[in-house]
Structure 1
Amino acid sequence: MSPLAEIPFARAAQDPTGSCLRDGERAFDNARFAADVRRLAQRLGALGIAPGDTVAVMLPNCAEIVTTMFAAWYRGSALTPVNAALTDDEARYQLQDSAAAVLVGDERARELAASVGIAWLDAASIDGDDLAVEPDDGPAAAADDFALIIYTSGTTGRPKGVLLDHANLDAMSGSLVEHFSLSAADTSLLVLPLFHANGLIAGTLAPLRAGGDVVVAPRFAPDTFWELVETARPTYFSAVPTIYAVLDARTTREVDTSSLRFLVCGAAPMPAELIMRFEKRFGVPVVEGYGLSESSVASNINPLDGPRKPGTVGIALPGQEVAVVSPSGEHLPPGARGEVVIRGANVMRGYLGRPEETAKVIKDGWLHTGDVGIVDEDGYLRIVDRIKDLIIRGGENIYPKEIEECLYAHPAVLEAAVVGRPDAVLGEVPVAYVAPRPGRVVAPEELRVHCAARLARYKVPEQFEVRTELPKNSVGKLVKGLLREPSQV
């Protein structure tokens, strides 16, 4: 039996009226949430959903996604969350690739379900005040059953389904609870979307497991975000660097952050200068972390109790090993640069239906991330760049992240991305794209002078382009692939 599938019912038995989940004006205590989960699970059973099936959900951030996740586990089924911003063709691909048996969602979801020949369940009918539910045998999920099928962003081809079982999520959520000392006193503010592992595991599963509360935030809006923090009184939230940069740039009033005991940054490297500026301004520690969907979301995070090193992604989480290796697979000593590899009970079971691709990234129990990093003598990991992002200019290796860090140090820069552009003589040259902070103007030549004063000559971008904003995916992570397209240069 999976202990995660039991969470709603264990909480309801221990403290029926205790706060569990909040979504706008709606508040679910433990008893009501458990009743909703059981009721939805029984409705899924009536549709023929059985252990081993896949349940899909496609909705904007709302409590119903969380209810559907636990209801799927109650049936012994896996959940695959579908990004509501996907096109119909993209959504159909995920439904078919995951072999989903039912889609929980709105009217659009009903049309999509019909187009691929699967059942549909109206999300609007999930929430109910009636606590009376027909008796049954209880949750059916086992530790080795698949729990989540999370689809990658697809920046290098068709998205792949990352298979995470209950044992993966048990290890991951337990590791986060231990690292952050999460308890019933904690409230997570869900800022990131619930179709990704971060929102579902770090933002939802870990605090619920610890006895805490979850507040589902609407779509991120900088003008109203601090009002939500002041009203909901969360103890932490997790966000991406872009959100922190926007909050820093657009906040013009004093804000009450007294409820927050820490903030987490992930998904992409956060400039050390931004971390220190944000902490000083808002009075809350920002701990940068690192992980992948393939490692159940997180593998390294800076500690709350102990030295925090801005510019690093911290130490390995409890129960995990993180190292760097050479191209031949040799483990490298502290200070050496190599590919980051991860081992632990949190590492995925594999890519759905892709054994060859699974074998390429999981070797001898180690997950090969494709990221270049350095582990220092204290065990802190610094991510240098993606292996595929490396730019080789006339035989010289250039890591775009180093140039981006330099650009972020300019007071007018809000966002920066550096990519390689083919060059007939040098092979590749770096090109920089920059978005200025609100109300600021910056010229390409000014950026060139700024970089030339801080970087070796061969690292200075060949071209600087200033845009109002840079392309980002649904999580707010910069998408460099779009900048590499010839039409974008």
Structure 2
Amino acid sequence: MTQGTYFAWELASRGDAPCVRDDRLQLSYVQFAQRVDAVAQQLAGLGVGPGDMVATFLPNRAELLITLMAAWRLRAVATPVNPGFTDAEAEYQLGDSGAKVVVGQAPVGDPARIFLDVDDLAVRPTAQWTPPTPPTEADDALLIYTSGSTGRPKGVRLGHDNLHFFGRSGGEHFQCGPDTHALLILPLFHVNAICVSCLTPIMAGGQVSITGQFSVSRFFDDVTRLRPTFFSAVPTIYALLVSQAGGVPPGALDSLRYAICGAAPISPELLAKTEETFGVPIVEGYGLTEATCASACNPVGGVRKLGTVGPALPGQRIRIVDANGDDAPTGQRGEVLIAGPAVMRGYLNRPEATAETIVDGWLHTGDVGILDDDGYLRIVDRIKDMIIRGGENIYPKEIEAALATNPAVLECAVVGAPDPLLGEVPVAFVVGYPGTDLTADDLAEFVAPQLTKVKRPSAIHIVDALPRNPVGKIDKPGLRRQTAAAGQVQPAGAAPA
């Protein structure tokens, strides 16, 4: 694998080559390194040192990345907080992580905690600045909190060894070099944005353009103006882009070489529409925060298998095990396990949860998958999302895949709803493309030939939007609570259970 580092102070020799920009700043490698040192000196003056926690409470902007790097300069740890959090939600992460300083646009959480206004960040170190001992691979680097879909969010500890490994592995897989230019549209409090769209291009000598609040019109304007070579997004964003891409000027997307899709499964139909719209490969990948973002991905230049998330990334290993923990035969479903240098160090202050998740070096993902003869992984569903209907195991993703083949369906989600006789029955929530006439009866009729009776939704709800958790994934726990609170399912547009 290619070697390299993302430490700004070690990359200043790249001089005036473009490094990071946002809506207000445009920084070369030497300017980026200067800003990082300036903020590191400022944080050191506030008492930040090795092992301390520095939090950011910021929207996507260059200062967020500068603050992360500045914390690392001091061998401190960074924890980015979702700027959309309420004060109580933010305080939970700040308190649980033991944050010493918060860098943000306005104070948040405990008023006794040190707050540094982003507009007051230093831009040049003073002549008295003496850089401390540099961080090592053994130091913790990031504390990223899980979405908290079950219980309270947990802090995932990722070290510099994890991040450097992923940067090298990802750079090799995505063929990154000095001409790589990432357009960052995902939130920077998420590991995908930090690792895929920032650290990997920087390690390769490329550049990062940080966009602010995402919108479809802004996206196409940014691509036309900035000429990025790739971007990473979630299926919902691709659905929005495809549905409103009719007015894109010819040649506006010519700089793109590929795009990455992750965080949630994308239907084959949407994937095909997106590739047709953008004229480049859309490589679907799979991963989780506990494994430093991505563990499998379809190749940019090799064989891409529709419906799979590709083979393991370089240096990582994937197994499928049955309920007894034994390796499942090729082509058989089971739990996805991951091993390699990308696996987290553990959950902060939660040794029991760590021990349950990492067993003998293997990360238990809680996802159900299948490996084919070529080592390509297909994700079937989440173990916890599985619906047991009268003793029959039903995977919601299979029902969602059938619904998604309808050209009027923009996105959908299927969850289990309580039933007094059968225990659980599948219920679907569906969002249609703008301007389409979509009814529950039509959808029920549409999927009937594709699904056995036991798998057909007992109710189909047409909704304007699906609820999402802080990182943009569909909030299935919330949908399950909603259906449970509604009581017994009333069949709508589908055969009664």
- What is residue 492 of structure 2 aligned with on the other side? none
- What is residue 378 of structure 1 aligned with on the other side? 374
Q: SS where residue 107 of structure 2 aligns?
A: helix
**Contact persistence 1:250–1:438 (CA under 8 A):** no
| 1:297 lines up with 2:296 in the alignment | no
Residue 455 of structure 1, aligned match among 434, 451, 455: 451
**Cα deviation per residue 1:29-54 (whole Å; 9 max; x = unaligned)?**
11111111001001111111110111
| 1:204 lines up with 2:198 in the alignment | yes
The runs of 5 or more residues in structure 2 that have no matched partner are 490-497
| 1:219 lines up with 2:213 in the alignment | yes
**Cα deviation per residue 1:424-475 (whole Å; 9 max; x = unaligned)?**
1111110000011111121111010011021111111000100111111233
Q: Report the alpha carbon displacement of residue 5 of structure 1 after superposing the two structures with TM.
A: 7.1
Question: Distance in 1 between the 2:282 and 2:199 partners?
Answer: 21
Question: Distance in 2 between the 1:470 and 1:487 partners?
Answer: 17
Question: Distance in 1 between the 2:188 and 2:479 partners?
Answer: 27
| 1:22 lines up with 2:35 in the alignment | no
Q: Report the alpha carbon displacement of residue 395 of structure 1 after superposing the two structures with TM.
A: 1.8
The runs of 5 or more residues in structure 1 that have no matched partner are none
Q: Report the alpha carbon displacement of residue 310 of structure 1 after superposing the two structures with TM.
A: 1.4
**Contact persistence 1:101–1:118 (CA under 8 A):** yes
CA 1:113–1:36 in 2, change beyond 3 Å: closer, same or farther? farther
Q: Supply the AA of the counterpart residue of 1:285.
A: P
TM-score (norm 2): 0.94
| 1:97 lines up with 2:129 in the alignment | no
1:26-105 aligned within 5 A: 26-105=25-104
Q: Report the alpha carbon displacement of residue 6 of structure 1 after superposing the two structures with TM.
A: 6.2
| 1:410 lines up with 2:406 in the alignment | yes
**Contact persistence 1:102–1:113 (CA under 8 A):** no
Q: Report the alpha carbon displacement of residue 254 of structure 1 after superposing the two structures with TM.
A: 3.2
1:1-400 aligned within 5 A: 7-13=7-13, 15-109=14-108, 112-114=109-111, 117-126=112-121, 128=123, 130=124, 134-138=128-132, 140-255=134-249, 256-400=252-396
**Cα deviation per residue 1:343-384 (whole Å; 9 max; x = unaligned)?**
001100000000000011100000000000000001000000
**Contact persistence 2:38–2:122 (CA under 8 A):** no
Q: Report the alpha carbon displacement of residue 136 of structure 1 after superposing the two structures with TM.
A: 1.3
**Cα deviation per residue 1:2-41 (whole Å; 9 max; x = unaligned)?**
x98763123212x211101010142111111111100100
TM-score (norm 1): 0.96
Q: Supply the AA of the counterpart residue of 1:34.
A: A
**Cα deviation per residue 1:259-284 (whole Å; 9 max; x = unaligned)?**
11110000000111111121122201
Question: Distance in 1 between the 2:448 and 2:129 partners?
Answer: 71
Q: Report the alpha carbon displacement of residue 223 of structure 1 after superposing the two structures with TM.
A: 2.3
1:441-452 aligned within 5 A: 441-452=437-448
**Contact persistence 2:286–2:297 (CA under 8 A):** yes
Q: Supply the AA of the counterpart residue of 1:126.
A: L
**Contact persistence 1:5–1:74 (CA under 8 A):** no
Question: Distance in 2 between the 1:456 and 1:272 partners?
Answer: 21
Q: Report the alpha carbon displacement of residue 104 of structure 1 after superposing the two structures with TM.
A: 0.7
CA 1:139–1:34 in 2, change beyond 3 Å: closer, same or farther? farther
Q: Report the alpha carbon displacement of residue 120 of structure 1 after superposing the two structures with TM.
A: 1.3
Q: Supply the AA of the counterpart residue of 1:384.
A: V
Question: Distance in 2 between the 1:363 and 1:207 partners?
Answer: 32
Question: Distance in 2 between the 1:83 and 1:107 partners?
Answer: 13
**Cα deviation per residue 1:82-129 (whole Å; 9 max; x = unaligned)?**
0011110110110110011111112234xx351xx321112112263x
**Contact persistence 1:37–1:67 (CA under 8 A):** yes
- What is residue 495 of structure 2 aligned with on the other side? none
Question: Distance in 2 between the 1:188 and 1:239 partners?
Answer: 12
**Contact persistence 1:5–1:73 (CA under 8 A):** no
**Cα deviation per residue 1:310-360 (whole Å; 9 max; x = unaligned)?**
110001000000110011111122101000000001100000000000011
**Contact persistence 1:103–1:113 (CA under 8 A):** no
Residue 428 of structure 2, aligned match among 419, 424, 432: 432
Number of matched residues? 481
- The percentage of counterpart residues that share the same residue type is 48
Q: Report the alpha carbon displacement of residue 132 of structure 1 after superposing the two structures with TM.
A: 6.1
Question: Distance in 1 between the 2:245 and 2:133 partners?
Answer: 45
CA 1:382–1:150 in 2, change beyond 3 Å: closer, same or farther? same
Q: SS where residue 108 of structure 1 aligns?
A: coil
**Contact persistence 1:5–1:70 (CA under 8 A):** no
CA 1:140–1:191 in 2, change beyond 3 Å: closer, same or farther? same
**Contact persistence 1:39–1:133 (CA under 8 A):** no
Q: SS where residue 100 of structure 2 aligns?
A: strand
- Stretch deviating more after TM superposition (405-414 or 251-260): 251-260
Q: Supply the AA of the counterpart residue of 2:114.
A: A
Q: Supply the AA of the counterpart residue of 1:229.
A: V
Q: SS where residue 11 of structure 2 aligns?
A: helix
CA 1:475–1:314 in 2, change beyond 3 Å: closer, same or farther? same
Q: SS where residue 314 of structure 1 aligns?
A: coil
Computed over aligned residues only, the root mean square deviation of the Cα atoms, in angstroms, reads 1.5
Q: Supply the AA of the counterpart residue of 1:56.
A: A
**Contact persistence 2:50–2:76 (CA under 8 A):** yes
Question: Distance in 1 between the 2:309 and 2:193 partners?
Answer: 19
Question: Distance in 2 between the 1:35 and 1:141 partners?
Answer: 18
Question: Distance in 2 between the 1:392 and 1:468 partners?
Answer: 28
Q: SS where residue 482 of structure 1 aligns?
A: helix
Q: Report the alpha carbon displacement of residue 133 of structure 1 after superposing the two structures with TM.
A: 5.1
**Contact persistence 1:435–1:469 (CA under 8 A):** yes
**Contact persistence 1:241–1:266 (CA under 8 A):** yes
Q: SS where residue 171 of structure 2 aligns?
A: helix
Q: Report the alpha carbon displacement of residue 481 of structure 1 after superposing the two structures with TM.
A: 1.2
Question: Distance in 1 between the 2:126 and 2:188 partners?
Answer: 28
Question: Distance in 2 between the 1:6 and 1:372 partners?
Answer: 34
Q: Supply the AA of the counterpart residue of 2:194.
A: L
- Stretch deviating more after TM superposition (198-207 or 23-32): 23-32
**Contact persistence 2:139–2:159 (CA under 8 A):** yes
Q: SS where residue 147 of structure 1 aligns?
A: strand
Q: Supply the AA of the counterpart residue of 1:140.
A: P
- Stretch deviating more after TM superposition (416-425 or 135-144): 135-144
CA 1:85–1:317 in 2, change beyond 3 Å: closer, same or farther? same
**Contact persistence 1:339–1:370 (CA under 8 A):** yes
Question: Distance in 1 between the 2:383 and 2:82 partners?
Answer: 27
